[in-house]
Amino acid sequence: MNFEELKNFLDEKADRYNNADFINDDPVQIPHRFSVKQDVEIAGFLAATISWGNRKAILRSSDKMLDIMGYSPYDFVMNHSDKDLTDIHGKSIHRTFNGEDFAYFIRQFNKIYKEYESLENLFLVNEDESNFLHSIERFRTGFLDSEKHRSHKHVSSPYKNSSAKRIIMFLRWMVRRDKRGVDLGIWQQIDPRHLSIPLDVHTGNVSRKLGLIFRTQNDWKTVEELDRMVRQFDQNDPAKYDFALFGLGVTKELL
């Protein structure tokens, strides 16, 4: 396919898969259950953090965390007791994200929300920045304690060349705005043109088959390689092509 044919093909696939039906089996349904901004952010960040492996298992584990928080994430974050966190420590949550990690995240959310109204404040993109490379690191600095903790591994660093897939996905949920009903678009201070596509095995493989990327690793350098290509198709809303790549991966249309 030439450039125009490829653009039209991906536009058609993005249009097909970017609809409310997408929500039913996807972790994005977790933040969709809430209307208060801080509830949406906390539920969304936790669901995104554990988004690896089987999607049904991700949803079950997300429900487990919501149940522990009494389905009031922000209230729990701001008003939990020491005993609440002690009780969480021994719980199994999702694969390598355990109760200790969950309790750590609750403490860190509490620290952030005592200073800021929204997590958006930690992800703001400067005028001279084209993507979230630096803002993710600023978030990590603000969210994580300076003292090393086992939970730090669950917040990826693009400075260490991680694709930061789960954070990028969370940012798409919070930032991207359209009328399709999938992405929540509750953050108004960040332009969707800065978004990247969450890069994992499936989106990476589809992107290579289509000639969108050529690097073999799924790392931050490859995220930026994919950025450069999809932003030629739509510089204002490049992340919409995540729906196309995801849909093509699920349907195995390119096999």
* pLDDT tens-digit map of 127-161: 999 999 999 999 999 999 887 888 899 999 999 99
CA dihedral (20, 25, 27, 30) positive or negative: positive
% residues pLDDT > 90 (the chain): 87
pLDDT of residue 145: 86
Backbone angles phi, psi at 214, to 5 degrees: -130, -20
pLDDT of residue 148: 82
| Confidence check: pLDDT of 70 > 90 | yes
- Confidence class of residue 251 from pLDDT cuts 50, 70 and 90? confident
Helix axes 99-115, 37-49, angle to 10 degrees: 150
Average pLDDT over residues 49-66: 94
- Residue 131's nearest CA partner among 212, 193, 183 is 193
Distance in angstroms (rounded) separating the CA atoms of residues 222 and 226 = 6
pLDDT of residue 255: 58
Contact 89, 103 (CB under 8 A): yes
Cα–Cα distances (Å) from 83 to 2, 53, 90, 103, 161, in that order, read: 61, 31, 12, 11, 38
Q: For residue 228, what are the contacts with CB-CB under 8 A and spacing of at least 6?
A: none
List 97's β-bridge partners, or say none: 94
Contact 186, 117 (CB under 8 A): no
| Confidence check: pLDDT of 111 > 70 | yes
% residues pLDDT > 70 (the chain): 99
- Amino acid type, 139: F
Range in 3-17, 53-67, 139-153, 184-198 the model is least confident about:
139-153
* pTM higher than the cut 0.85: yes
- Confidence class of residue 115 from pLDDT cuts 50, 70 and 90? very high
pLDDT of residue 147: 78
User: Per-residue pLDDT tens for 216-236?
Assistant: 999 999 999 999 999 999 999
Average pLDDT over residues 184-206: 96
Cα–Cα distances (Å) from 135 to 84, 120, 156, 190, 194, in that order, read: 32, 10, 12, 11, 11
Average pLDDT over residues 30-43: 98
- Confidence class of residue 90 from pLDDT cuts 50, 70 and 90? confident
Task: Report the SS3 class of residue 77.
Answer: helix
